[in-house]
Structure 1
Amino acid sequence: MVQITPVLVFAAAQVLGGAVAVPADYAQHVLLDPQGHSAKDVYTVKDELKKADIIPTVIDDFLPSLLVGAEWPSSKNAALGNTIKPKKLQDEPTITLTQPKSAEGACSSLANLTYTVTLTDPDAPSRDDPKWSEMCHWIATGLATSDDADSSCSSPLTLSLADLDELMPYYPPGPPEKTGKHRYVLFVFVPANGTTDPLHLKKPEDRQHWGYEYDAANFVYSQNKKQ
């Protein structure tokens, strides 16, 4: 079995869908252009994951090493807890990985590694009654290639995941009526041995009650229009 380790920063997005209220003091944090990222952004991501109760109820406490972005064909982006209507999430997103600038100047090569991307719903069928948690919406693997062949440790490195091999086909978020906002969490994993070979992962028997270990994350909220 291939050991995979979470590497990316969790970006959260909420898909409109339930009656569960978001805390009044919850401030949506929208990620900036990748060129503006610094190492402190990973701490911002961690803080937002805690505010959304993703840490520690969905995942254990961890510090991301990368930033992960997701853009759907509808032009909607995951921005650490923004709310997106389900109809805007019907097709699988494009995934990008960004290596923040390091104050120490240290960095490692992230291109040409085989990454695993997952999308999960811990609030199925509702946040108040998560008896189906977690619901698997997507598992895919693929090589990450650099957008900039001349990129160096002195600048952020953005990666694009192309030609993904789907272990679990993309299943669009579809929160039931009157179940409040669901957290749809995006995780990215990298093999601990840094392999570029295809990963022979075991397919979950069902979309319900599946699990994982993680390296990076992001999320959105979504809910059914009938509340």
Structure 2
Amino acid sequence: MFHQITVAFMLLIVRALAHDSPGGQVVLTSDETTTQESTLHVVQEELKEAEIIPTVIDDFLPKFILNVEWSSSNYASLGNLLKVKRLQSEPRITLREASDSSASLCASNMTYIVTMTDPDAPSRDNPKWSEMCHFIVTGLTLSSTSEEASSKVHFTDLQAIIPYKPPGPPPKTGKHRYVLLAFAPANGTTDPLHVSKPEDRQHWGTGKEGHGVRDWAKANGLKPVAANFFYAKNKKQ
């Protein structure tokens, strides 16, 4: 019970900070009052609040922090609203350790996969095209906090399984959730990953409404280890 209260309290603090920060962004990096473990619980709770858990992915506690940015002022931050015109280029990605609990997945030569999916295509009220696959890249490795500033990886340094497709919500479809997930091999292998390429972006090639990254990850023996998300909408609402 005490642990649940502590996590809830930290979540309130982070949300309060978000309201005071530009664009209502939730800051993922820890400070003196926020432990690394509670930061990971905040990510999990925000995923549940946005109904990404369980709509897009099964419930899980992240092991790492996933940072995805298009510029110093445009980055995914647990549900912030970004302008579509500022998301046209490929983002830079950083995956970094957040707690000692992830030690079993921290092999220096392990590589990770990052995906982006839209479960609200063409709209959240009518998700008949969901999920829509926006990218799959592999070859990402962990970065320590001290190296983070110089280790942000651009897409051109990664292997694209599905090339980057910028967010493009149709007019009058409201805000779309764009969900970013990092995956590790469930069996802990450090061998190079050879994953399947979805036959189509729509439904991730499953042909079934509401199906997507979860199906693909399970079929390829992957488990989620980090997550982030943002919202985007068409200017014509």
So what's the TM-score if we normalise by structure 2? 0.72
The correspondence for 1:202, drawn from 184, 196, 200, is 196
The correspondence for 1:225, drawn from 196, 213, 235, is 235
- TM-aligned CA distance change 1:161 to 1:194, over 3 Å: farther
Q: Which runs of 5+ in 2 are unaligned?
A: 1-17, 205-211, 218-222
Deviations 1:18-54 (A, max 9, x none): xxxxxxxx97551243676511111111111111111
Deviation at residue 118 of structure 1 after TM alignment: 0.4
- State how far apart, in whole Å, the 1-side matches of 2:107 and 2:172 are: 42
The equivalent residue for 1:55 is 53
Deviations 1:128-173 (A, max 9, x none): 000000000000101415357x89xxxx9x9754621001000000
Aligned residues of 1:38 and 1:101 also touching (Cα < 8 A): yes
The equivalent residue for 2:114 is 117
The equivalent residue for 2:15 is none
Greater share of strand residues, 1 or 2? 1
- State how far apart, in whole Å, the 2-side matches of 1:184 and 1:177 are: 16
Q: Which runs of 5+ in 1 are unaligned?
A: 1-25
Deviation at residue 195 of structure 1 after TM alignment: 3.6
- State how far apart, in whole Å, the 2-side matches of 1:106 and 1:189 are: 13
- What is the 5 A alignment of 1:49-128? 49-73=47-71, 75-102=73-100, 107-108=103-104, 109-128=106-125
- State how far apart, in whole Å, the 2-side matches of 1:129 and 1:93 are: 28
- The aligned amino acid for 1:62 is F
Deviations 1:104-149 (A, max 9, x none): x77343533111110000000000000000000000101415357x
Aligned residues of 2:96 and 2:144 also touching (Cα < 8 A): no
Greater share of helix residues, 1 or 2? 2
The equivalent residue for 1:180 is 174
- State how far apart, in whole Å, the 2-side matches of 1:106 and 1:122 are: 28
Aligned residues of 2:95 and 2:142 also touching (Cα < 8 A): no
The equivalent residue for 2:29 is 33
Taking only the aligned residue pairs, the percentage that are identical comes to 57
- State how far apart, in whole Å, the 2-side matches of 1:42 and 1:85 are: 26
Deviation at residue 98 of structure 1 after TM alignment: 2.3
**Relative contact order higher in (CA < 8 Å, ≥ 6 apart):** 1
SS in 2 for 1:39: helix
SS in 2 for 1:202: coil
Deviations 1:181-223 (A, max 9, x none): 0000000001134344432111101001122334121100000
- TM-aligned CA distance change 1:219 to 1:206, over 3 Å: same
SS in 1 for 2:36: coil
